[in-house]
Structure 1
């Protein structure tokens, strides 16, 4: 199944576990190491729209740059948050899996069952 893509960080245990679960399920997903090859603003918008979640759900609030940029400000728009993630991809939560059944932030890894058999 090459119709699955994972936005992956190999240093993240959850991301590694999800990748292994996909492989155990017979898929060899296209892998995007998003810290090396960050998605652009348009791709981030598309991913957020496909997930149907607020942009804030996709941002890693535990990263130092989150506080440095004042991203906890509730007045910030989704567009401003997407701009921050595009500029600082470490802010993108992972792993994001794009599959025929949907696009999902697979955290915790058990959520993979929602879009992958």
Structure 2
């Protein structure tokens, strides 16, 4: 297994509050089509640091952990009914190395953080 950590690329763009119509529309759609990450969708924008696990350099992420600016684990996926944010894309280990300023971490650091959220 391989493990990496990287800081989230922060956007200067601020989210606009949703209109009442959009809230109703999103509520109706998500009652028909369930969210990919029902427990964590609202926390993804609060992630400051990502930790990812890969089987090898040719693979996509297996598991991911999101940590906030206070070093608290705020999400981990896949977990329960949450599919994942990075696990649901086409980026492989080598792509993360090219696109982000990653730090290789060890398994124990990843597992310690994984077990902080239950």
With the length of structure 1 as denominator, give the TM-score of the two structures. Answer: 0.23
Report the structure, 1 or 2, having the larger helix content.
1
Whose strand fraction is larger, Structure 1's or Structure 2's? 2
